[in-house]
């Protein structure tokens, strides 16, 4: 599975979170590993910092990695790479990589 984040409306950037569910140690505690980000250090997706945490949910193999109703996950967009303003649109797609099918698509609007 991969997550495609299209923030072209907000900052002209797109990002992909790859190789999911991840097996990286401390995934969600110290951020995403380079192998999980298509652009590595240049990604708009925050890699986090030591001690930062968020709920990766189904994005890690240690969790129940079945995406079904009620399941969730979090990622963060780095403000240094992509500034967000009230009303900006971000599209998020969940892609089944084996079949290259979009399983879920969601449009998000920034509210400050």
Full pLDDT tens readout for the chain, 112 residues: 899 999 999 999 999 998 887 776 655 555 567 777 887 678 898 776 666 666 666 777 776 656 777 777 788 888 888 999 999 999 999 999 999 999 999 999 999 8
pTM to 2 decimal places: 0.82
Instruction: Quote the pLDDT of residue 47.
Output: 72
**How much is the pLDDT for 39?**
78
Tell me what pLDDT residue 86 has.
95
Alpha carbon of 60 to those of 25, 46, 64, 95: distances in Å? 9, 16, 8, 16
**What is the model's pLDDT at position 98?**
92
Predicted pLDDT at 53: 66
Q: Which helix (H) or strand (E) holds 11?
A: helix 8-11
């Amino acid at each position: 599975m991969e997550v495609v984040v299209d923030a072209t409306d907000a900052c002209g950037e797109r990002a992909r979170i790859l190789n999911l569910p991840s097996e990286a140690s401390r995934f969600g505690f110290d951020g995403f590993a380079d192998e999980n980000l298509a652009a590595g250090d240049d990604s708009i997706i925050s890699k986090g910092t030591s001690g930062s945490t968020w709920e990766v949910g189904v994005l890690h193999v240690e969790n129940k990695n079945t995406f079904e109703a009620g399941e969730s996950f979090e990622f963060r967009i780095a403000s240094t790479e992509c500034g967000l303003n009230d009303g900006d649109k971000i599209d998020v797609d969940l892609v089944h990589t084996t079949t290259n099918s979009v399983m879920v698509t969601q449009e998000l609007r920034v509210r400050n």
